[in-house]
Structure 1
Amino acid sequence: MSDALAAINFDITTYPTLTSIIKRFENTWVYSDLQYVIDEAQQAFNELSLNSWAFNQMVTAFEEQMNLAEVVKQTLLLLEQSNLYKLENGLPVNNEKPSISIQNVSNSNIAVQSEGAQQSISINEQVFEDLLAVIKASNIESKEPLITAVEDMQAESKSGSIGNTYKAFIGAAANHMTLIAPFIPALTAMM
């Protein structure tokens, strides 16, 4: 699985589309509940009255692998909800179009850069507020780089896109995907 995950980033011939990435992991143990493996091993361990430090270390390592598989699964499920995946598979796409409101204009043709015309772009700030709250409430040791990255995205969102700062945020949050995964769809929609 490690090789497959790494190949997604550099092997465009094997994974040319988002759909090919998602299909690669179908019917794999990423979608399996492997808790029974630990339960059966623990039962055998107890029945044999063993006392082995190595066994406990292997159980811990296996649980960590299960947690990583869960993160991969959640990410794949999120990607299946993306507009890109839907477009690739001919599914209906949710196009949230910004609304434009023009008020107090009479007998006037408004042109770009005309005097007296104002425009404003409204961004849902709540996603940034919620993300900051989750980071601050987490047990992450070094929160400041993540907080700064979110604040940078929030500032850049006022210009209409978070493309540049999103990459920096994802880089800073790479080890905390379970924490930020619920926010990824909302953030990618702003790119």
Structure 2
Amino acid sequence: MDIREDLRDVSGQIARLLALSNVFAENNKYWAHLKNDEDFNRVYRIPEKDRYKVESIYADGRDMAIYMMDALAEINFNYARYPTLTSIIEGFQNTWVYGNYNKETPDIAKEICSTYDIDLWSVRQMFKLFKDQEKLLAAVRATLAMLQNSNLYKEENGMPTQEKHPHQINLTGINSSSININSDGASAAVNQTYNEPAVFSEIITAIKLQGLDPIIEGELIDNTHMLAAGHKSGTFKDAYIDFMQNVSAHITVFGAFLPALSALL
């Protein structure tokens, strides 16, 4: 994929955002399928006074997918909307990315179905899809935070820049074989039926058990979601490099998981 010329210095992060756009695009199709081709039409069995609370999981979830697939895709070609890197970063403020929606929507839908003893497979799938999209939003947040720390962003805003150093991260796997993150071909494949490796949820559980400052905890969890999204979208190598740099101050939290992560490369 060709990245627009003025963003080449941050091409890795831009490529990740474009890959996430593709994931949201696939989700948009799945939302339509769940509503039109499964059992969602049986939502009529719920009294009208509460039915809209279940219908909202579809409305909000699909709106999120449509907005994010378009907003992320346009980064690479819509100069009117995103003339600079700064405009890209600022463009996602006050949007889905930073929680500008009712986060209780999926839980309310699930609760209403339970209250009326109505089990809809489509709603269960929508609940999972909504939660998965929230993880993608976390991945976008973490990536935008990296872009805001880039030299390109600092140059645009008249801030001091940092000397560039080549990224070289090596680690040793369980069998003592060295793994070079810069090696070509170390990318994850994207399957139609994707099962997220358990290591990502295990890392998040470990983070929550550390008793860290809530802001730091949130940043580490966002970075973990970014790593998981990179694995799903096929950009795991670059996501891993960024992840290791972002969490380096808290690497002891992740030490036990490095062999499992290296196995995914």
Q: TM-score range by the shorter chain?
A: 0.5 to 0.7
Q: Report Cα offsets for 1:105-133 as digits up to 9, x if no partner.
A: xxxxxxxxxxxxxxxxxx664x2x14x86
Separation (CA, whole Å) in 1 of partners of 2:97 and 2:236 = 15
Q: Which residue of 42, 45, 52 maps to 2:120?
A: 52
Structure 1 residue runs of 5 or longer lacking an equivalent are 98-122, 134-146, 154-171
Aligned pairs (5 A) from 1:89-168: 89-95=157-163, 125=168, 127=169, 129-130=170-171, 150-152=182-184
SS at match of 1:22: helix
2:97 corresponds to which residue? 30
- Checking the alignment, whether the CA contact within 8 Å between 1:71 and 1:178 is kept in structure 2 is no
Measure the CA separation in 2 of the matches of 1:71 and 1:39.
22
User: Residue 167 of structure 2 contacts residue 241 of structure 2 at CA under 8 Å; is this kept in 1?
Assistant: no
- Among residues 66, 77, 84, which one is paired with 2:145 in the alignment? 77
Query: Which aligned runs of 4 or more in structure 1 are off by greater than 6 angstroms?
Result: none
- Whichever structure has more helix as a proportion of its residues is 2
Equivalent position of 2:239 in the other structure:
181
Q: Which has the higher contact order (CA 8 A, sep 6+)?
A: 2
Question: Highest CA radius of gyration, 1 or 2?
Answer: 1
For each residue in 1:5-35, what CA deviation from the matched residue of structure 2 results, as whole angstroms up to 9, or x when unmatched? Answer: 1111112232121101111101111111754
TM-score, normalised on structure 1?
Answer: 0.54
Aligned length: 129
Task: Answer whether contact 2:181 2:241 (CA < 8 A) is retained.
Answer: no
2:167 & 2:119 partners in 1: Cα distance? 55
Shift of 1:180: 4.3
Identity of aligned residues (%): 36
TM-score (norm 2): 0.41
Displacement of 1:177: 4.9
CA distance in 1 between counterparts of 2:167 and 2:86 reads 29
Q: 5+ unaligned residues in a row in structure 2: which ranges?
A: 1-67, 174-178, 186-229, 246-265
Report the RMSD for the aligned CA atoms in angstroms.
3.5
From the superposition, tell whether residues 14 and 185 of structure 1 become closer, same or farther in structure 2 (CA, over 3 Å).
farther
